[in-house]
Amino acid sequence: MTLSEIKSALQIVSQVEFTLPNQQRVPAHFHVTEIGAISKHFIDCGGTMRQEQAINFQLYTSTDDDHRLSVEKLRNIITLSEQALGLPNAEIEVEYQGQTIEKYGLAFEAGVFHLIPKATACLAEEACGLPSLTQPTIAPSQTCTPGSGCC
């Protein structure tokens, strides 16, 4: 989800709700403690220079159970961030406190924002000599037998 997409989604909801990947809701008294621009300039293991941009939203849950972030307040925080930082229309990355700071992608469905798990990946598999991670496909009519290597 990009910055423009979250702004559009905020036009059609009456409350801001986030769901974790395990389907649990982020407690309703969460705060958005920061919105920022992330710029990453790096070289992958194959020697290719890369640049990535993202918009960071940090969600924080405190002990103030009566706090509620209104749609209007979140729109205002986004507007202030855009004006002050000149934010691009980049993908949103959400930070949320778990056992450590966890990073998620963001999706929107049925009026709820969903935190989507992110994973690391090798960007230059051909240069690293990593084995292919694709699994062999089995036709529906085939069966696997122990030791056949098909499953």
Q: CA nearest 115: which of 36, 31, 1?
A: 1
* E strand intervals along 12-139: 18-19, 30-43, 49-61, 91-97, 101-109, 112-117
137 pLDDT tier (thresholds 50, 70, 90): low
Quick one: average pLDDT of 75-82? 97
What is the model's pTM? 0.80
Average of per-residue pLDDT values in the chain? 89
| Measured torsion, CA atoms of residues 137, 143, 146, 149, in degrees rounded to the nearest 10 | -20
Phi/psi at 40 (5° precision): -120, 120
